[in-house]
Structure 1
Amino acid sequence: MRRRAALGLLAGAAARAADWPQWRGPAANGVAADGDPAPLEWGPEKNVLWRSATPSWSAATPIVSGGTVFVTSAEEGFSATGGGGLARHAVRQLLNTFDGDDAILLLALDARTGKERWRQTLGGGNRIHLKHNEASPSPVTDGSRVWVMTGLGALGCCDFTGKLVWRRDLAADYGPFGLNWGYGSSPVLDRGRLYVQVLQGYKTDEPSYLLALDAATGRPLWKVERPTDAIVESPDAYTTPLLVETAGGRWLAVTGAGYVTLHGLDDGREVARIGGLIPNRNEDYRNVASATLAGDVLLVPTRRSPFTAFRITAGPKLERLWTNDHGPDVPTPVSDGERVWLVDDKGIMQCLRVEDGEPLWSRRRIEPGLYSSSLVLAGGRVYATSEECTTTVLAAGDDFQTLAVNKLGEHILASPAIAGGKLFLRTAEAVYCVGGGPG
């Protein structure tokens, strides 16, 4: 692959390289820090260092920083967990049910022992949305404070002792969120600013928008509309934005509602836009899986098809490179810069060459099941976790090679985190810390 212009994802300056400080890890791309290995084999009685029960379930990724694991949870969760995990029939019966007496919590666990250090209430109320609830957005940290948002719009900041530094209600400020399946985007932290996207339309006539806040105080810095001609449910997006850098500047990349857009960090101004993400003006093409970056190539999922690669060039401009007809719906892909791995909701995987989209291997079934967790990569291995908490470990090379299959027997929607050579899995009932070395 030819050498590309310098371009990369940016994590918070104070975040420790070996931590997992946000959704998708140190560089927000699902890749563990350089040299950070991960376990190869585990099970209920093998290589589990600790298991810490949670009050209820969440689809949010646990984050790890400075010896602390942060995880969100509903306080009660409508008693929708139990037995082998999330009770699907119970969730379906409670679909779109609101419980004003429930609450969304931020839990802090000792990363060495799993012992709960503290919990903080983020906001009141909870609603079931089939595969997630109002605890879905993942936290983000700079190593001294942690920021987290709920699906109802409560946005807050805590220090590492659990003290609430500030909190505000975005729904009260700008109107209730209007997505069909609830809100699931995670906040992005960069250089003292917090960025939030709200791409909506199915349940509201209010426009979608991007918002920047002062991370220290919660004071809004700017808010811009993000227009779209998508219709019915297609304006909705559950993606999380990416920070990118080019020779010409630093930008926020936003995917969803039929478009990829780049925005200035100082004012939110849109500086580049490209469409083609919704075929035939489809009415239900909401976006769930987030984009990932490989060099100067932005890899963008939609609702299965198309999966599209865009090169970011000077200007900045977005140039369509190639498309693939078999992308994921929910799980976000992972890339090592030269290859990109994808798994669809039914456990069909493929590995494509980033430069031209050519398959290195294609349409290979891994362990049967439904897949919602995003792929992660560490130590030359790709980890794919099904909703039954069965993780297939594959070699991160040009050939399809299964190295291990690991089962925990609980339900999981959250994506794994990798920090300090350990794997953290947030099931419907607990947080697991898996060790045992890289194997």
Structure 2
Amino acid sequence: MKLRDIIDSPCGLRYVIDSLPLASGYSLRYLMDTEALTAQEDIAAAYSRMREHLSAAGDGNLVSMLHSILCSLKDISHTLSRIEAGNTVDDIELFEVKALILLGRRVSAVLEKASQTSIAPHTGDLEDALKVLDPDGTEIASFYIYDSYSPELAALRADIRREADADRRTDLMDREQALEAGIREELCRTLRPSVPALRKLQEELARLDIDLAKAVQMLRMRLCIPEISTSGVTTYKGMYNPYVKEVVERAGGEFTPIDLSFGDGPVVIIGANMGGKTVVLKTAALCQWLFCFGMGIPAEEALIAPRERVFFISGDAQDMGAGLSSFAAEMKAIDGVVRASAEAPAGSCIAAMIDEPARSTNPIEGTALVEALVDILGQREVALLLTTHYNIPSSHCIRLRVRGMEDGKMNYRLCPAPEGDVPHEALKVAESLNISPEWTGKAKKLLEYE
């Protein structure tokens, strides 16, 4: 699965990606086409690169210089493919190739001067290609068919400048164009063996932009580099959702960080609507996705287990195009988790984060559906984190609840939820929203009567 496939998942992932200080639009597209990491060694390598870039990320002047250079990075894959296929490209495309090499050399020079050679791109294999495109050694980011390529061409151009007769001048210019075409063809033939090294440089520069942006973001947002769990259990200390935190703080509030552990048996978070359950679930999903792409984690500490597949099901899943109601679309999505877990080979690592399944059906059937889901996925060793306002027995799961509204403020911290009914918090939430006292008061009296 690529980042672009999940970028609009309603967990706050787009907010984090949009906050990355990337220099180049090409780097963003490259990042969007990145596959999620699932193997422990690949994830470890990604965070190792993050650590290598932290020193550079902490140097504001260096980051600014690199940003000003990398903003010129463009995707010239089409040009490189044309050269590789034996086509003759035009002067603009040859300029793009030259500019890429010069850009790589400038970045390397800046990093070497800052003693950051470990993260510098490799341009040594392209010295010959640069000589082909810059025969005069000016290292200026421009290109045309230079006189240096051909004494015949240089002499012909001198004749054109001296020629006063229009017809004769036209003939000479036709000969010039023919010579230039032959030189372009030869240049492309000479550059063809360098195409793999050019592709590698383009990708190295994009990865440098991305890795540096990740490291800068980690320092600015005070994210953490997670440890990799080998037990299958994921644990967060002081976890928070960057988007929700910004919204809360903008309104003058304070986001309470969350401690959470799951993966050793199903974890069910119970509570009323607007009780904070969904924020916790979305934040856990966000952290798992960020982990899959080697990014900083919004938490004080994190120990995260790699997952081969991650399912996040949240919100109104109504699918008008397929003619499905919210309940039907939700059931189909959750059924995908059940079937995937049944078909997965032994030892597979699957995580599922499901927000209030069967919320839109009647409570009796809804409770039965959720209890059955927890039981099935629990037996299949799926790392399940689920929210619900139904009363699910603790024999099937670890029951937690969000502390909820306290003194008019939302406290997202989790605490154990004892056996019994789900917390009766709906009226408390309604009162915090300044709902009509006439309405809430009458509801209270009806509850007292019952």
The answer to whether the superposition gives a TM-score over 0.5 is no
Bigger helix share: 2
TM-score (norm 1): 0.21
Bigger strand share: 1
